[in-house]
Amino acid sequence: MNRFKVSKFRHTEARPPRREAWISDIRAGTAPSCGNHIKASCSLIAFNSDRPGVLGIVPLESQGEDKRQVTHLGCHSDLVTDLDFSPFDDFLLATASADRTVKVWRLPASGQALPSGPGLLLGPEDAQVEVLQFHPTADGVLLSAAGRAAKVWDATKQQSLTELATHGDLVQGAAWSRDGALLGTTCKDKQLRIFDPRAKPEAAQSTPAHENSRDGRLVWTGTQEHLVSTGFNQMREREVKLWDTRLFSAALTSLTLDASPRSLMPLLDPDSGLLVLAGKGENQLYCYEVAPQQPALSPVTQCLLESALRGAALVPRRALAVMGCEVLRVLQLSDTAIVPISYHVPRKTMEFHEDLFPDTAGCVPASDPHAWWAGSGQQVQRVSLHPARRAHPSFTSCLAPPAEPTPATARPAGTPVGDADPSEGFSSPPSSLTSPSTPSSLGPSLTSTSGIGTSPSQRSLHSLLGPSSKFRHAQGTVLHRDSHITNLKGLNLTTPGESDGFCANQLRVAVPLLSSGGQVAVLELRKPGRLPDTALPTLQNGVAVTDLAWDPFDPYRLAVAGEDARIRLWRVPPEGLQEVLTMPEAVLTGHTEKIYSLRFHPLAADILASSSYDLTVRIWDLKVGAERLRLQGHRDQIFGLAWSPNGQQLATVCKDGRLRIYEPRGSPEPLQEGPGPEGARGARVVWVCDGHYLLVSGFDSRSERQLLLYSAKALASGPSAVLGLDVAPSTLLPSYDPDTSLVLLTGKGDTRVFLYELLPEAPFFLECNSFTSPDPHKGFILLPKTECDVREVEFARCLRLRQTSLEPVAFRLPRVRKEFFQDDVFPDTTMSWKPALSAEAWLEGANGTPQLLSLQPPGMTPVSQAPREAPARRAPSSVYLEEKSDQQKKEELLSAMVAKLGNREDPLPQDSFEGVDEDEWAKYLAQIIVMGAQVVGRAFARALRQEFAASRAAADARGRAGHQSAAASNLSGLSLQEAQQILNVSKLSPEEIQKNYEHLFKVNDKSVGGSFYLQSKVVRAKERLEEELRIQAQEDRERQQPPKT
């Protein structure tokens, strides 16, 4: 072979498309994994959405002019780490997850509902699954890598064929060879290994690959002998190496790129040998040609991207536009769009080029798992890419056969998809929740809390977009500065993470100060404004404050916990704190270690629960000032505790990774236990959904903040849903509103407040608009419901603590008919300031029911009883769509301009000047200035009229010939001037046109080095000029005819 042979891809160019060809309006996400986050078959694209465990699904090609709709598939209870389409079945998708499982899904054709569950489940593994790939020749064989082992699965039997466990560290990459006989792996121990999985589970060959252990990848070329690996060298530079398995001790060739910290994703097309290198977070793609025979990695082209790359995938070769010489297509995943980038080889003729598009692997598998494992080496039959010879066989894998339509879901042929019941279809909620025990698509909820109606139009919308919260458009607004409390000095920012940092009721707010002695300032919410520069009157606790809480049934009593293991009860005067108080009303002693949480009973007066570093929860009777109950069973620090809404149970979340529910009056030991958050950095717990569920905020093993939703009746079975939010150091503090089922989540030092509506069924979480502040807040708490401005549809009022101020934040819902009481947003609320029973009664076993209060203002009619508005009548569309000629448009424009400039027939101001008194010169001077402007305007209008008349006369003079000439240009695709330039003629002479045509047609013949393309241009130019000659001759004849009388 000639070593210096010129590559056929040397002129390959990358063509980023226009924005109209992008798949926009998506919300992509990336997981900390070894996957590429996006994959494509010949029909579909799947990508990681910004919601953990949820994939976006979109057709590869658009259908007509309709915009491609993105639907969402809830796959796993944790991050999707990798995914892969079957090479034979375009609608078979395998997904791997951090929840340690592998699932195979049967996706429907466009316009149909996504599946409610996977076709099959593999696992769980001992660690999160990092890599997943289908076998290239056998249907039903899967390769997965988790932790230090790689497994080959017979998916048809849902069992492992072999486990390749000789790796010394985390497996970072794994890939099948083109013929499916071998597989290679890259590992964090810097070794590149080759396995023959049917021969033995140990590596057949192993060699040091890259000197740095960061994120190594590999791909095989079109032969069994060669593969390409990417990684980092000892100098942390990115490098690419070409390997020969027959000479595996050293790489054939290597290429060093740069010192970027971004890991490379290698995308290699084995048929063409083109290798695309994509770096996560970068704005550039590198394209190389892999030539193992030379050997060489030859640069081909580079492509600059408009946005940062989050993931990349190759479109299968069978889906390329071969007649346009498209040799490669890369799908770039960005934060908000999928951008298809085509690589074209310029060719002179628009025809099929055999040298660019050799036969490729078809879509019919060569064997099944049993035959392959028995030693079959049969290869997939290759098919031609020529459009005229291309066969279109369809193959449906047996792994997840298509579901037969049941009578409940079958529809007549004429029934629109959108009119189906939404519970039968798939929905794409804004949140990423599924049940780990019963994986499902995120189906819609029709409960009253979801705010979803059941009208046909609503069902049609929700079948496409999924369930959505009626609070999704909620708007958080900081109220006017007049309601702020400013000039707050000496704020204590070192309160424990288990504390909210401050507390408030409908009258006052208590804020710990940094000064010595455990001082707490009590501020009046009814008296906003600037605080004095002098020292404020405070409550002197004597020790550092760890937590504090207002008594919900006594607005003047404040409980403060200190580091000395004591609880102090303070009585604030009704007129406010006017002087420093040093003696509390009562002191509760009993704990032996520092106290860090206080919670008042929601229904019983004078009942307080506290948790301490002594690993106990103690329940106090404040009326007698003594401990009455003690709860045990914790083995580490108690992060948080919460009373159930009915006050009968108490839940705790602990650093030992356990979530517990107690019945304090029944037993000191927990009634139930279940697994809590994996992270040990902090957690909170709150009862939600009428006390049927527990919401826990905490951290996972990778320090990502997450929410876990548990059924209060089945803690041992683990969370029903898990939602990952972000990575931040502070614990999320949940504030739950039982009236709307909304939870507000934020942390100390955050600038964002998350809003979610909670449902007792899938999808469990409905995301709403979040509130973002320009600077971090030190605390964020929810005020009682009675503080909301119901007339402004304000469903929540909060207090935001800043470094030197305290400001109220109102969350409102945009509504059209605000003159009516929005009874769907404001149900009867609990009278949280009135106890349902006494402490003595509760301790004796009695239970109470809270009283309810209507929030409907007097004189307002509920919106549910409001009369319906008559739909506004619209004018016929013909009124708006009436087409106007260019002549009419010009005349209207001219009339409008003249009307604005004034009528030239109007009398001028000087016509009425008969005599001007000297004292009136100032007034007339202004009129003279106006007069000058009008004169100039009239002159401009007159000039416009004259110019327009001249142009109209010229158009009339041209007559029909001008229109015919323009029509000829449109039909031929060439203007008169272009045709004259091509044939090099200045005057329209038939002899000159014919002479130049014959000469140019001859010199551009293909036999003398020309091309059909140039000859076609010459012919079209001649036809255009001949048509112009015909038009001129017709015009001359019309002029010679006498005018008709």
In the chain, the amino acid numbered 599 is: R
Of 5-14, 90-99, 418-427, 773-782, which range is least confident? 418-427
For the CA atoms of 31, 35, 37, 38, what is the dihedral angle to 10 degrees?
-170
- For 192-209, the pLDDT digits (tens) are 999 999 999 999 999 999
Largest CA distance in the chain: 122
Identify residue 931 by its one-letter amino acid code.
M
Among residues 274, 278, 416, 328, which one has the least CA distance to residue 40?
A: 328
Q: Report the alpha-carbon distance of residue 547 to residue 501 in Å, rounded.
A: 7
Q: How far apart are CA 676 and CA 671, in angstroms?
A: 15
pLDDT of residue 416: 35
Q: What is the pLDDT of residues 255-302, one digit of tens each?
A: 998 888 888 999 999 999 999 999 888 889 999 999 888 888 899 999
Q: Is 87 a residue whose pLDDT tops 90?
A: yes
Helix (H, G, I), strand (E, B) or coil at 832: coil
In 3D, which of 586, 534, 532, 587 has the Cα closest to residue 565? 587
Beta bridge partners of 966: none
The residue among 3, 74, 859, 850 whose CA lies nearest residue 429 is: 74
pLDDT band at 314 (very low <50, low <70, confident <90, very high): very high
What mean pLDDT value characterizes the chain?
Answer: 82
Range 532-541 average pLDDT:
90
Kindly tell me if the per-residue pLDDT of 423 is higher than 80: no
Instruction: For 957-969, give the DSSP string.
Output: HHTHHHHHHHHHH
Residue 947 has pLDDT above 60, yes or no: no
Range among 342-351, 444-453, 1011-1020 rated most confident? 342-351
Q: What's the pLDDT score for residue 712?
A: 92
Q: Residue 33: CB partners within 8 Å, gap ≥ 6?
A: 79, 81, 82, 98, 128, 130
Range among 507-521, 555-569, 1015-1029 with highest mean pLDDT value: 555-569
| CB-based contact 132:95 (threshold 8 Å) | yes
Give residue 911's pLDDT band: very low, low, confident or very high (50, 70, 90).
very low
Residue for token pair 């009704």: 574
What is the mean pLDDT of the segment spanning 330-355?
Answer: 90
Lowest mean pLDDT among 158-167, 768-777, 913-922, 996-1005: 913-922
pLDDT at residue 1009 in the model: 67
- Cβ neighbours around 57 below 10 Å, total: 22
Distance between first and last Cα of the chain: 86
Q: Where are the alpha helices (DSSP H) in 959-1040?
A: 960-972, 976-983, 990-1003, 1012-1040
**Which band of pLDDT confidence, cut at 50, 70 and 90, is reported for residue 556?**
very high
**pLDDT value at 704 more than 90:** no
Query: What's the one-letter identity of residue 964?
Result: Q
- Residue 460: band (very low, low, confident or very high) from pLDDT cuts 50, 70, 90: very low
Backbone angles phi, psi at 685, to 5 degrees: -135, 145
Predicted pLDDT of residue 645: 94
pLDDT of residue 192: 94
Nearby residues of 835 by Cβ (< 8 Å), 6 or more positions away: 553, 603, 604, 605, 848
Beta bridge partners of 149: 146
* Angle at 1036 (CA atoms; ends 1035, 1041), nearest 5 degrees: 100
The pLDDT of 910-935, averaged and rounded, is 53
Q: Is the pLDDT of residue 796 over 90?
A: yes
The two structure tokens encoding residue 439 = 């994986």
Give the pLDDT band of residue 180 (cuts 50, 70, 90): very high
pLDDT band at 940 (very low <50, low <70, confident <90, very high): low
What's the average model confidence in pLDDT over 356-372?
91
3-class state of residue 944 by DSSP: helix
Task: Tell me the two tokens of residue 979.
Answer: 């045709």
Q: Which residue has the higher pLDDT, 299 or 936?
A: 299
Q: Are strands 529-530 and 485-486 parallel, antiparallel or unpaired?
A: parallel
Please tell me the least confidently modeled range out of 136-145, 301-310, 749-758, 998-1007: 998-1007
Report the SS3 class of residue 524. strand
Q: Band the pLDDT of 392: cuts 50, 70, 90.
A: low
Check: CB of residue 108 under 8 Å from CB of residue 403.
no
- Average of per-residue pLDDT across 352-378: 90
Report the C-alpha gap between 42 and 395 in whole angstroms. Answer: 13
Question: Among 320, 1042, 445, which Cα is nearest to 761's?
Answer: 445
Give how far Cα 643 sits from Cα of 563, 605, 662, 760, Å: 23, 14, 10, 19
Q: CB-based contacts of 107: which residues, under 8 Å, 6+ apart?
A: 44, 57, 73, 91, 92, 93, 114, 115
* Confidence at residue 215, expressed as pLDDT on a 0 to 100 scale: 86
Backbone φ and ψ of 961, nearest 5°: -65, -40
Strands (E), 578-712: 586-589, 595-600, 607-612, 617-621, 626-631, 638-643, 650-654, 658-662, 672-675, 684-688, 693-699, 704-711
| Rounded distance between C-alpha atoms, residue 1045 and residue 1042, angstroms | 9
**How many Cα atoms occupy the beta-carbon half-sphere of 929 within 13 Å?**
5
Give the pLDDT score at 957: 45
| 8 A C-beta contact, residue 54 and residue 28 | no
Token pair 């039968």: residue: 424
- CA torsion angle 447 699 312 119 (round to 10): -50
At residue 100, what are phi and psi to the nearest 5 degrees? Answer: 75, 20
Contact 498, 795 (CB under 8 A): no
- How many C-alpha atoms does 983 have within 13 Å on its Cβ side? 30
For residue 116, what pLDDT band results from cuts at 50, 70 and 90? Answer: confident
Is the peptide bond between 467 and the residue preceding it cis, with omega within 30 degrees of 0? no
CA distance 979 to 1001: 14
pLDDT at 436: 39
Structure tokens at 244: 């020969």
- pLDDT of residue 901 exceeding 80: no
Kindly state the average pLDDT of the residues 1002-1023: 78
The pLDDT-based confidence of 459 (bands split at 50, 70, 90) is very low
- 1004 vs 130, which has greater pLDDT? 130
Q: What percent of the chain has pLDDT over 70?
A: 81
Banded pLDDT at 53 (limits 50, 70, 90) = confident
Cis peptide before 295 (omega within 30 of 0): yes
**Could you tell me the two tokens for 986?**
């200045």
Q: Sorting pLDDT into bands at 50, 70 and 90, what band is 111?
A: low
pLDDT of 21-33, one tens digit each? 888 888 887 667 7
Cβ atoms of residues 219 and 268 within 8 Å: yes
Contact 510/501 with Cβ under 8 angstroms? no
Per the rule left: phi > 0, alpha: psi between -120 and 50, beta: everything else, 959 is left
Q: What is the pLDDT of residue 875?
A: 47
Q: Has residue 435 got a pLDDT over 50?
A: no
Which run of H or of E encompasses 900? helix 886-901
CA distances from 943 to 344, 855, 931, 936, 939 (A): 54, 69, 18, 11, 6
CB atoms within 10 A of CB 716: 10
Q: Are 608 and 623 in contact (CB under 8 A)?
A: no
Q: What is the DSSP string of 317-340?
A: GGGS-GGGTEEEEEEEE-SSEEEE
Res 573: pLDDT:
92
Helix (H) or strand (E) holding 276: strand 274-279
DSSP 798: E
Higher pLDDT among residues 118 and 926, named by residue: 118
687 pLDDT above the threshold of 90: yes
Report the amino acid identity of residue 450.
Answer: S
- Give one DSSP letter per residue of 529-590, joined into a string: EEPPSSPPPEEE-SS-EEEEEE-TT-TTEEEEEETTSEEEEEE--TT---S-B-S-SEEEE-
The HSE-up count of residue 849 (CA atoms within 13 Å, CB side) is 1
Please give the backbone phi and psi of residue 838, each rounded to the nearest 5 degrees, phi first. Answer: -90, 165
Query: What number of H helices and E strands is found in the chain?
Result: 10, 64
Kindly report whether the global pTM for this prediction surpasses the value 0.95.
Answer: no
Alpha carbon dihedral 208, 212, 214, 218, in 10-degree steps, equals: -30
pLDDT in tens, 845-863: 999 999 999 999 998 999 8
Q: How many CB atoms lie within 10 A of CB 207?
A: 16
Cβ(309)–Cβ(264) below 8 Å: no
Average pLDDT over residues 223-236: 90
Out of 608-622, 786-800, 1012-1026, pick the least confident.
1012-1026
Spatial distance between the Cα atoms of 485 and 668, rounded to a whole number of angstroms? 44
DSSP for 9-65?
A: TTT-EEEPPPGGGSEES--B---SSSS-SEEE-SSEEEEEBSSTTEEEEEESS--TT
